[in-house]
Structure 1
Amino acid sequence: MGHRVSKQQQQHNNNSSNSNHNNKKEKRQSIGRRKLIGNLIYPNSNSNNSSKKRKSSSLQCKQEKSGVNVLVLGASGSGKTTLINQIRLMSSDNISKEERLEYRTVILFNIIEAMQSILSAMNKYDVPIDCVHRKAVAEKLLQEVNPFPTTLDIFRSIRSLWKEEGNIQLLYDTRHEYQLSTINDTAEYYFEHTLEHVSSSKEALINYLPTDQEILRANRKTTSIVEHSNISFKQVTEGSDAGSNITTYDYSYYNILDVGGLRSYRKQWAEAFAYKSLFSTLLFMVSLSEYDQCLLEDSTTNRMQESLLLFESICDLQYFKKSSIILFLNKTDVFKEKLSSSPLYVYFPHYKGGDHYENACQFILGQYKKITVKSPNKKIYTHFICALDTVDVQLVMSALHEDIIQISLDQTTLL
């Protein structure tokens, strides 16, 4: 925090010093924004060659593809991949067996990592494991390193710890109070469902293939630019003509580009931005539930503050100065659940709405809308969503379709 200056001292400051201070502040903010996204977004004069090389990228293929091109941005953990997978599962672009096998490894590792995180937190906060045998099992599990051995014994050990050690479930239930951001909110689903199956027998573990719900909850970091092409989404319209009910089916096709949200991956965003003209829609994802958590890569930075600064950086970029943005505020279920135990005002002192869900939602939305005030022509289309809820996503996708039509009309008007 900066040094607080008294009113009496401020009166003695001259206009020159104020001007210098403001210039320095603006410079620091500018540098901060550049660091957030990556220097490649602000190319030097020497970067022309690299820009030309990127034009041979697969992204150029989008020029020949029909449909709506959507660029999905947001900080790590905001739910970008979950949303895209949910859309894919509702469309003709289903998840193949080969991809499910890839998710198999991800999910099995997620289970091990989640239990390791819980056990590490128990050690940190001196939460005891009562049974001597289970304590030995826990100590052995903590010694395992990635890539983990995915054996029947290890999953039976985790199942035993979860089912029989009450303090483990107690710590998981209160993880937000302990600021345990390394424990994924979807871990309980795996402990209660997936673990029961894969620990039942060696044959069950060998033949395990993740379900749709397990894939949606997988914590799989996007480490590169991932393109999903020609995803079809069926719009159903009910109407009447001459007294007869008519149902109309309108198929919309999407080409979606997903990019990694961790700081170390944001330099790749420059390649996506270079083809901004090919993307008619910019969608920014926010995790509502991370208002009380810190970044995995920087324990001093609040995740929501990072998301806000990242959103501001994107709005300020020349690429998107006149672009409308669709804002998805995700993880409404977790956000609603934790408001009473983790007050929003602790992290945003200006908030005065208590633990009322609607008040909290509108406050967070207001923080993002403030950022766009300096761009009066920029429109923000907002949706509160739980990306794990199929019905919720179906409803939002119908609204998204209308948003995209409006954005297209706005862009035509501007031209």
Structure 2
Amino acid sequence: MARTEVATLPTTSVPFLDATLYIPPNETPEQRSARLKAEEQAKHASDEIDALLNLERARIKAETSTGRKHTLLLLGQSESGKTTLLKQFQMMHAPKTFNDQRASWKAVIYLNVLNTLRTLLISLRDEPTLRSPEFESLLEISSQLATFEDTVAAKLVESGQFERPQPNSTKVYMRKRPSLDFLKFRRSSSSSTEGSAWPASPELDSCLETANQVLTAHLAEIKRLWEDPMVRSYLTGQHQEDWRSFFLNDIDRILVPGYMPTDSDILRCRIATIGITEHKFNLGSRSLFRKNVDNVEWTMYDVAGSRGQRHAWAPYFEDATAIIFMAPLSGFDQYLNEDMTVNRVQDSYELFTKICRNRLLQKTEIVLFFNKMDILQEKLNFGKQISDYVPSYGSRPNDLENAKKYFCSHFEQTFHAHNKTGRSLYVHFTSVVVSLSLCMFLMNSY
């Protein structure tokens, strides 16, 4: 697989470390006092974080050394399916928590629906041949839909479980506990960090009810626009279907009064995540990864996968029993949001290579999930040519089986090249949203 060239960042005239220690010329006594106080506060915060990290590292090591705890890391790039797989585990091994939160997911699903409609209208706006009467009708209420989306996002942020990347953004992230608060929380609680349902909000309920009324009033136009063959063909070519199709295909059911999210709805709804969180599972009596796990607690760490957050993975490597690495092959024709020059499959490959050669993980078992195979099949059926985006694919047949062999061989080669301890690699081709049987299979295969 060809490596993508990435431009180097320009350097500044002042090295970073020198800049952090820089003392302004003509500094007044008041400025000096403020600077020294800020430096003291920063050192205190840094020392506190270091102390908490050391305590956390010692706790993990002590629990692991007794054989009463095993650690499972869930790794992969952003939008690879990690959170969906985690939801599957919760459904099986923490059903009370999962069901306690069921009603709360309604707001996130409505946010998905509103975002999908907004994205759909934006995508079709500059395509004259697709501007149907249904499009024009929905365009008239687009500002109202945007207001609903913004209000739902704002109320989710107020709940404390979400945050925005920017103050006025309609995009929200599900918050995984930041390092300092996360560590403090874990020291005081042995329960799952997910907790119960998110706090109720009458304002949010009112917004969802009003949005429901507006969407219901325009349901016929939404369905006709979404079911238009020319629109669907155009969106597939623009990478605009994926999970979005599920909610618009089922919009009648979602808009029914008294709607309660189903398991499938919760699995398919999308919201980005930041930070790291842990989930505890007792898998009963079975052997897993050649470990006797009879009533042994497993802790799964779910970590955010964007490039800017991968540095937070390292503290969890040393005592990891196994890694589940998610590599979505459907991204062969897509690029990272963080760097539009980097192909998503190429990024997965490079990230997997780094995991394989990391010295702290040399004895860690790896489960490799080539995920979103259903979406890959849809793209190949549509006529997408892998070689147009991955030149090294060459003249191989553009079908699912040959694509699987090609990508799998590259990942397996890098694993074996860095496998110095005889550890195992378990490879599966999956679509995580399809069935809960995936988790059953995983729990009984190794």
- Normalised by the length of structure 1, the TM-score is 0.70
Corresponding residue number in structure 1 for 2:79: 77
Question: Is 1:153 the counterpart of 2:217 in the alignment?
Answer: no
1:15-35, Cα deviation, whole Å (9 max, x unpaired): xxxxxxxxxx9xx99x99xxx
Indicate which of 306, 312, 321 corresponds to 1:268.
312
Question: Partners of 1:59 and 1:144 in 2: how far apart?
Answer: 47
Question: Partners of 2:363 and 2:47 in 1: how far apart?
Answer: 24
Indicate which of 224, 229, 253 corresponds to 1:197.
253
Question: Is 1:363 the counterpart of 2:406 in the alignment?
Answer: yes
Corresponding residue number in structure 2 for 1:224: 275
Secondary structure, aligned partner of 1:100: coil
Question: Is 1:210 the counterpart of 2:299 in the alignment?
Answer: no
Indicate which of 138, 141, 151 corresponds to 1:134.
138
1:96-125, Cα deviation, whole Å (9 max, x unpaired): 344223322211101111111111111144
CA contact (8 A) 1:82 1:217 kept: yes
CA contact (8 A) 1:333 1:386 kept: yes
Question: Is 1:390 the counterpart of 2:441 in the alignment?
Answer: no
Residues 54-203 of structure 1: matches in 2 within 5 Å? 54-57=53-56, 60=59, 63-64=62-63, 66-126=68-128, 127-131=130-134, 132-138=136-142, 140-142=144-146, 145-148=149-152, 149-150=207-208, 151-156=211-216, 159-165=219-225, 170-180=230-240, 185-193=242-250, 195-201=251-257
CA contact (8 A) 2:71 2:322 kept: yes
Indicate which of 336, 341, 347 corresponds to 1:300.
341
Q: Measured at CA, do residues 59 and 293 of structure 1 come closer, stay the same or move farther in structure 2, by a change above 3 Å?
A: farther
Deviation at 1:318, TM superposition (A): 3.0
Corresponding residue number in structure 2 for 1:15: none
Question: Partners of 1:49 and 1:95 in 2: how far apart?
Answer: 32
1:147-184, Cα deviation, whole Å (9 max, x unpaired): 3443223432563343122576643454231244xx5x
Corresponding residue number in structure 1 for 2:193: none
CA contact (8 A) 1:285 1:328 kept: yes
Residues 247-326 of structure 1: matches in 2 within 5 Å? 254-269=298-313, 273-326=314-367
Residues 336-351 of structure 1: matches in 2 within 5 Å? 336-340=377-381, 341-351=383-393
CA contact (8 A) 2:111 2:149 kept: no
1:267-295, Cα deviation, whole Å (9 max, x unpaired): 322xxx22323321112111111111122
Question: Partners of 1:166 and 1:277 in 2: how far apart?
Answer: 49
- Structure 2 residue identity aligned to 1:54: L
Corresponding residue number in structure 2 for 1:240: none
Question: Partners of 1:229 and 1:114 in 2: how far apart?
Answer: 33
Question: Partners of 1:324 and 1:48 in 2: how far apart?
Answer: 34
- Normalised by the length of structure 2, the TM-score is 0.66
Secondary structure, aligned partner of 1:210: coil
Q: Measured at CA, do residues 154 and 320 of structure 1 come closer, stay the same or move farther in structure 2, by a change above 3 Å?
A: farther
Corresponding residue number in structure 2 for 1:381: 426
Corresponding residue number in structure 1 for 2:38: none
- Structure 1 residue identity aligned to 2:117: M
Question: Partners of 2:397 and 2:296 in 1: how far apart?
Answer: 41
CA contact (8 A) 2:369 2:427 kept: yes
Question: Partners of 1:287 and 1:158 in 2: how far apart?
Answer: 35
Deviation at 1:328, TM superposition (A): 0.9
Question: Partners of 1:154 and 1:263 in 2: how far apart?
Answer: 38
- Structure 2 residue identity aligned to 1:382: V
Aligned-residue CA RMSD (Å): 3.4
For structure 1, list consecutive stretches of 5 or more residues without a partner in the other structure. 3-24, 33-45, 237-249, 403-415
1:335-370, Cα deviation, whole Å (9 max, x unpaired): 122113211111122223323211111111122223
Corresponding residue number in structure 1 for 2:173: none
Q: Measured at CA, do residues 50 and 314 of structure 1 come closer, stay the same or move farther in structure 2, by a change above 3 Å?
A: farther
Q: Measured at CA, do residues 115 and 299 of structure 1 come closer, stay the same or move farther in structure 2, by a change above 3 Å?
A: farther
Q: Measured at CA, do residues 92 and 134 of structure 1 come closer, stay the same or move farther in structure 2, by a change above 3 Å?
A: closer
Q: Measured at CA, do residues 316 and 176 of structure 1 come closer, stay the same or move farther in structure 2, by a change above 3 Å?
A: farther
Deviation at 1:375, TM superposition (A): 1.5
Percent identical pairs in the alignment equals: 23
CA contact (8 A) 1:331 1:387 kept: yes
